[in-house]
Amino acid sequence: MMGPMSTGDGRAAGDGGQPAGGLLALPAAGLRLAAALTARPSLLLRRGGGWVLELGRVGLGSSTATPPDDEVAADPVRRRLAQVQLVTTDALSGLLDDAAADGSPLPPQDADRLRALLLGPTGAGAPERPSGSADPGADSDPVPVPDGPGPDAARRVFTAPGPGDPGVPFDTGARDARGGPVAGRDVAATPGAVVLRTPVFELLQYLPVTERVHDAPVLVVPPLIHRYWLADLAPGYSLVEHLLGRGLQVFALSWRPAGPADAGRDLDAHAAAVLDALEACTRIARAPRVSLLGVRTGGLLAAAVQAHQAAIGLDDRVAGVGYLATVLDQSDALPGFRPDPAVTRAAAEQAARDGVLDGPTAVSAWTWRRGTDRVLPWAVPDTTGGAVSGRAARAIRAWAADLLPLPAALHTDLAALADSTFGSDDDDSGGVRVLGTPVRPAELRRDGYLVAAADDPVQPWTGGHRTARMLGGSCRLVLAPGDQAGALIAPPRAGGSFRAASCGTGDGDPQAWLAAASRIEGSWWEDLAGWLIERSGTLRDAPPELGGRRLRPLFPAPGTYLGAGDGHSHTPEDPAGAYARP
């Protein structure tokens, strides 16, 4: 229950509704907030602009903010007053979250003090929630980490939903009063713009936050079934935001949701999209090379593009490749289990009939079988090593439920890929071919950085080790706590540790690698940023605005495809000053 005795994020305040430090600490906290906003005026511009837009929607009666009290919601006047309170609370809370992000002069404890002061009155004026409707942003006991993969772990993790449980894969059933996090405000909120738009993807360029930037940009290649914003999760929990703070130029692909007319969009079409985006990055940044950062199955596309570039003699355009929770060889996943052929066949027939599989159906198609035992792809708990909780944990769950429709041709390619010999260097083995080029990992000779998830209940980290050993170039392997989503969220302020070593350490034995790997305190995000900086060239003045060389900004980030769940685009508002550095 929100009220004057709780902070805006649901945590209990100290005496008098203030966190530790009391009223005497508020003036200093206020000064540090002013310093934080002065250093990054774009925060105030973005949150203020969003607040004004939401107030306009309230006035027009089109706001989606829903008062938790049904009686208030039924009264037009009281509903609008409550909606004003809700959007104002969200704007203030978001501004404090932004101001307390990494590299800001505002410490998190100051944000808590100011939150209690600023949000206490609005919380007190809101109708109280029933005690059974606790704020879903306040997590209860953490989910236990599975002991390891295998049938027992599979039974614990992959259980069919009961009568009272959510019926959609990866849907936790958690809902807040406003229907979940809002893209561009709560998640995928790093300022930027769409600089290239095609029928397959939008290319986002993010606004630099440093006076000088490195030459070679970084291109985030997202998963094929999930949205891109795991890399830009939420303010303070965004890898994109962190890399920008280290002086790197960052771009990201956002896939257009497929409709029935896109049935033929296959793996080749997605690889060609990455090549188009790479070309646009080099044009805008005026740099000959780009680093690729593949997220989960996006790493497969990054590998395919690198292989194709090598085949045509252009692999020097790739400065380095990061594989974040990418597993090129699935042989270690759930030993003894294989995709259920009956379920796979039924999904293929539906895809052929309808042209596209909706996201939940596509995920449900990956049912595994071992004899009479079946493993159903229902909700996997977040095992984030304790680094992520509250709003960020809820954002991860929202991302996991934000599934893209799967075109029939891509479904066919992915099903074939599950049975392929990805690691084979034999042309006659039926291995993976993308854009007509065999993808042979031994020929992927650009430097690699691979992050393996230590606690994934299905895919053991040894699959990441095997992938790292398959690569043909110099490689650094990082073992991060968490599952394949949670391991990728490692904000430096959360602390923690990870293990890292060269991929060749241990002579191919994963346990020998683990014994020899260094335990490093802190976040692997810092390690990755340093690795990218070494391959990103010299520093130069940051561009004063986004786009360039006839690729101008089209829409503000997160773009039009992120909100297009039905395959149709939606054009967001275009706030003034969204594309230029303040």
Quickly list DSSP for 470-511: H-SS-EEEEEESSSTTGGG---GGG--EEEEEETTTTTT-HH
pLDDT at 364: 66
83 and 198 both lie in a single domain? no
On whether both 201 and 108 belong to a single domain, the answer is no
Q: d(Cα 290, Cα 217) in Å, to the nearest integer?
A: 5
User: In the listed set 106, 125, 144, which residue is the last one of a domain according to the structure?
Assistant: 125
196 and 119 within one domain: no
Query: Are the beta carbons of 114 and 104 closer than 8 angstroms?
Result: no
Domain that holds residue 89: 15-125
- Is the same domain home to 106 and 197? no
The pLDDT, as a whole number, for residue 68 is: 59
pLDDT at residue 357 in the model: 79
Closest CA to 528 of 428, 447, 449, 440: 449
Of the residues 125, 155, 174, the one at which a domain ends:
125
Residues of the chain falling short of pLDDT 70: 1-33, 35-40, 43, 64-66, 68-73, 97-180, 330-341, 363-389, 418-431, 563-582
400 in any annotated domain? yes
End-of-domain residue from the set 94, 125, 156: 125
Q: In the prediction, which pLDDT does 365 show?
A: 64
Please compute Rg for the chain using Cα positions. Answer: 24
Task: Answer yes or no: is 582 within a domain.
Answer: no
Q: Is residue 387 domain-resident?
A: yes
Q: How far is CA 380 from the centre of its chain?
A: 16
Single-letter residue type at 308: H
pLDDT, position 23: 45
Distance from C-alpha of 52 to C-alpha of 426, rounded to nearest angstrom: 60
116 plus 216 within the same structural domain:
no
Q: Is residue 352 part of a domain?
A: no
Map residue 160 onto helix, strand or coil. coil
Does 230 lie in the same domain as 94? Answer: no
Q: Is 287 left (phi over 0), alpha (psi -120 to 50) or beta?
A: beta
Return phi, psi of residue 293, to 5°.
Answer: -125, 95
How many residues comprise the chain? 582
CA-based torsion, 158, 163, 165, 166: positive or negative: positive
The answer as to whether 497 is a domain residue is yes
Question: pLDDT at position 7, please?
Answer: 35
143 within a domain of the structure (yes/no): no
Q: Which residues contact 38 (CB under 8 A, 6 or more apart)?
A: none
310: closest CA among 419, 469, 471, 465?
471
Q: What is the pLDDT of residue 556?
A: 93
Same domain (yes/no): 402, 550: yes
Q: Tell me, what's the pLDDT at 490?
A: 92
Q: Are residues 205 and 111 in the same domain?
A: no
> What integer pLDDT is reported at residue 261 of this predicted model?
92
Query: Residue 254: inside a domain, yes or no?
Result: yes
pLDDT value for 16: 38
Placement of tokens 């042209």 in the chain: 355
Number of domains in the chain: 2
In this prediction, residue 293 carries a pLDDT of 97
Kindly state whether residue 574 falls inside one of the protein's structural domains: no
Type of residue found at 213: V
Claim to verify: residue 98 and residue 236 sit in the same structural domain: no
Q: How far is CA 77 from the centre of its chain?
A: 38
Give residue 233's pLDDT. Answer: 93
pTM of this structure: 0.69
Give pLDDT, residue 540.
95
Q: Please write the tens of the pLDDT for every residue from 323-332.
A: 999 988 766 6
Same domain, 116 and 210: no
Q: What is the CATH number of the domain that holds 217?
A: 3.40.50.1820
